[in-house]
Structures are given as structure tokens and as C-alpha cells.
Amino acid sequence: MVQRTVLTERQKRLGSEVRRIRTAAGMSAEHAAGLLGVDRSRLSNMESGVRAISAERLRTLACNCDCTDETYVNALAEMAEPKEVGWWERYRGSLPQGLLDISEAEAGAVRLRGANTVHVPGVLQTSDSAMAIFRAVVPKLPEHEVALRLAHRSERQQVVTGDAAVPYVAVFHEAALRMQFGGRDVARGQLEYLIAASERDNVTVLVLPFSHGSFPGAGQTVVYAEGPVPQLDTVQVDSSHGPVFLYADAQLAKYRAQLDLLEELSLSPERSRDFIREIAREL
């Protein structure tokens, strides 16, 4: 198989899990390479995601490393199998890699959780709100780039609004609800859409009011994508340079605990919906 020149987060993640299996068993790279019938440099490329690893080789490694978690191994083997091209691949070469990685991570999740302190997350944004946010980017985006991002964002939303929508729990700090991207009318429309979305069976919207005081992760936008097995969970945090993906055990535990506490501190779904209605009426 040829070496990849552009790596997706999913490819990197599979490689890191292959390395995790090997090192957890105390197996040397030389031993693992010999076991799989490859040279050490090729194994290194497999563990970095530069080269693909077949499901068969992955199972061979797991077996010889005494990795007995069958559900975990099956999930990894599925990741290693060739996949149908995802819808986000239509935007390759037109949009930043980070946006495609976000789409792929969301598409592979069985449940999503999020914490939002500045604005409504992309999967719940109206087109007017999203357009206002894209037009505020520095340096300014050309109109055709704004249009591309709008189209991509619209397709992303299928993960929580489409026929195969996954459960989604979103915590909003009051500050995120009071931001007026695009002006009062756009902000009101966004809040009304958020209220409607919160009535979907798979969407839970929770509000953390100013009056509740301090809370963990202030100022940070977090998405926690639960994988088919807990070992394959992924955290995505925003940065000024694009999304950052985290999946070390300690990082996953930290953000799970953070989201648990935020959900505990928030209003109930019913009170949250009423709270958003009240903000919308004030606009």
C-alpha cells in the first residue's frame, strides 16, 4: 500500500491504537514487525497512520499482544477496513483539513456531548447565524469560501437532525445565548431554532445561567464524541488555528468529568427551554 501524504484524524487514531496495543504488551517494534511480516520502518508508518494496516494484521497483533477485549479489537478492525467515501470528502481541496476531520469524528460517534460558552455549535446553527460568524473571521473570507463553509455546515447538521441522528447533549452558558452574531433578528431566529431543536427526542439542551457562578472549562468550546467503545472516544476543542483532537486516557477522563459537572450545574431541559424563550423575548 502506498504511503499517505495527507492524514485524517481517524487514520492517525487507528495508528495510535496499534501502537498502544503493542506497547501495553511490552512488545518491541522489531518483534512486532517480524510478527506482521514487515520491516520496522513500515511498522512505524502503520503506527503513525502514514500506511494502512489491514484488519487481519491488526487482529494478529492484538492476539499476540494478549489484547482480549474483543469489542475493542472488532471496533479497530472495522476502522481498518476500507470505507465508502464520506460526504465530507467532496470538500477536500476546498476546505481546511480540520473541518473534514470534525465531520468524520461526528459521523463515527454513537453519542455527542458539548459545552459552549461563546456561540451555538455548528450542528445547531441557523444559516444566518453561521454566515455572520464566518464573515467575522480574520482575515476576511471571500464570499465563495463563506458559501462553501455554509454548505459543509448544513451537511454536518445531519448528524443530529437527519434520519440516522445520534443522541446529543449540549450545555450552553448564558453568554453563548446572549451573543448577537448578525444582529438582533438573526440572534432571535437562532434562539427560536435552538428551542425547536431541543424538542427533538435525541437532543438535550441545558443552560448554565450567569447566576450559577463559576464552572469548569470557562471560555472553552468542547465536543466529546463517544466512539463504538469507550477506548475510541474523542475530544475536540476549538483553537484559533483550528480544531484540536485529544484521546489520551487522562484527557478523556478530564473532559468526561468536566461535562458531567457542567450538566449537573445546569438547569433542567424544561427550565433551560423556558430560559431561552425568555432571552428571545428580550430581543
Taking only the tens place, the pLDDT of each residue in 209-256 is: 999 999 988 778 999 999 999 999 999 998 878 899 999 999 999 999
Give domain status of residue 3, yes or no: no
How many helices (H) and strands (E) the chain has is answered by 13, 6
Q: State the Cα–Cα distance between residues 109 and 121, nearest whole angstrom.
A: 16
Judgement on whether residues 146 and 259 belong to the same structural domain of the protein: yes
Other Cβ atoms less than 10 A from the Cβ of 12: the count is 17
Q: Which three cell numbers stand for residue 109?
A: 460517534
Question: Exposed, middle or buried, 123 (CB in 10 Å: 0-12/13-18/19+)?
Answer: buried
Place of cell 465531520: 103
Is 2 a member of any domain?
no
pLDDT at 1 over 60: no
Q: Which of 40, 55, 80 is the last residue of a domain?
A: 80
Average pLDDT of the chain, as a whole number = 95
Asked if the peptide bond before residue 139 counts as cis, ω within 30 degrees of 0, the response is yes
Same-domain status, 32 and 98: no
Domain assignment of residue 34, yes or no: yes
Question: Using alpha carbons only, what angle is made at residue 102 by residues 234 and 225, rounded to the nearest 5 degrees?
Answer: 30
Q: Are residues 135 and 272 both part of a single domain?
A: yes
Residues 58 and 92 in one domain: no
Do 49 and 153 share a domain, yes or no?
no
pLDDT for 123-177, tens place per residue?
Answer: 999 999 999 999 999 999 999 999 999 999 999 999 999 999 999 999 999 999 9
Q: Is the pLDDT of residue 3 over 80?
A: no
pLDDT for 20-36, tens place per residue?
A: 999 999 999 999 999 99
Last residue of a domain, one of 58, 80, 102: 80
**Do residue 57 and residue 138 come from a single domain?**
no
Distance (Å, rounded) from C-alpha 173 to C-alpha 207? 6
Into how many domains does the chain fold?
2
Q: Are 101 and 13 part of one and the same domain?
A: no
Residues 59 and 121 in one domain: no
229 phi and psi angles, rounded to 5 deg: -135, 155
State which amino acid sits at residue 205.
V
In a domain, 1, yes or no: no
Q: For residue 201, what are the CA distances in angstroms to 157, 198, 258? A: 15, 8, 24
Q: What's the pLDDT tens digit per position in 35-90?
A: 999 999 999 999 999 999 999 999 999 999 999 999 999 999 999 998 889 999 99
Where residue 64 sits, what CATH number does that domain have? Answer: 1.10.260.40
Specify the CATH number for the domain of residue 235.
3.30.870
Domain membership flag for residue 47 = yes
Residue 226 near residue 233 (C-beta atoms within 8 A): yes
Do 124 and 75 reside in the same domain of the chain? no
Domain boundary among 60, 80, 100: 80
208 and 73 both lie in a single domain: no
Q: Say yes or no: 240 and 169 in one domain.
A: yes
Whether residue 146 contacts residue 131, with contact meaning beta carbons closer than 8 Å, is answered with yes
Same domain, 161 and 239: yes
d(CA 127, CA 155): 12
Three-state secondary structure string covering 153-222:
HHHHCHHHHCCCCCCEEEEEEHHHHHCCCCCHHHHHHHHHHHHHHHCCCCEEEEEECHHHCCCCCCCCCE
pLDDT digits (tens, 9 = 90+) for 162-205: 999 999 999 999 999 999 999 999 999 999 999 999 999 999 99
Which residues constitute the domain of residue 29? 9-80
Tell me which amino acid residue 244 is: V
